Amino acid sequence: MTLQTQMVLRQALSEPAREWYGLEMVQATGLPSGTVYPIITRLEQRGWITSRWEEPAEHEAEGRPRRRYYQLTKEGTEAARIALANAHQNRAVRTAPVPWEAVRPEAPGATT
C-alpha cells in the first residue's frame, strides 16, 4: 500500500461516518488531485467506499459545480484499519535497527 493511499485512508478514518468530497480530501492530505482521485476510484472498486452525487438544487443554489460525496463503508472502515495497522507494522520491521554484526560480518580467515 502506497504512502499516499495510507494518507487518504487515515483522513477518511478520522471521521469514518462523515461524507466528504474529493477536493476536501485533496486539501486535507496535501496530495494532488491526480493522485487522490485514482486512489478514491480504487477504494470504491474494492467496496471500501461508496459515492453519491449531490442533488442539483444544492450546487445550483450555491453556484458551484456538482459534488460527488464519498463515505467509507462498514467493511471499508474495518479493512482500512487493518491495512493501516499492517502497513505500520511492516514499516516498523523495515526500519528496525540492525545489529552491527549482521551488517559487517567477520572477514574471511579472521579469528576471534
- CATH code: domain 3-89 is 1.10.10.10
Strands 49-53 and 68-72: antiparallel
Residue-wise pLDDT for 16-44, tens only, equals: 999 999 999 999 999 999 999 999 999 99
108 backbone φψ class: left, alpha, beta (φ>0; ψ -120 to 50): beta
Are the C-beta atoms of 20 and 69 separated by less than 8 Å?
Answer: yes
Bridge partners of residue 70, in order along the sequence = 20, 51
The rounded distance, in Å, linking the Cα atoms of 103 and 20 is 47
Answer yes or no: is pLDDT of 109 > 70. no
Q: How far is CA 75 from the centre of its chain?
A: 15
Answer yes or no: is pLDDT of 105 > 80. no
Residue-wise pLDDT for 38-84, tens only, equals: 999 999 999 999 999 999 999 999 999 999 999 999 999 999 999 99
Strands (E), 1-112: 20-21, 49-53, 68-72
The sheet carrying 20-21 orders its strands as 20-21, 68-72, 49-53
In this prediction, residue 88 carries a pLDDT of 84
pTM: 0.76
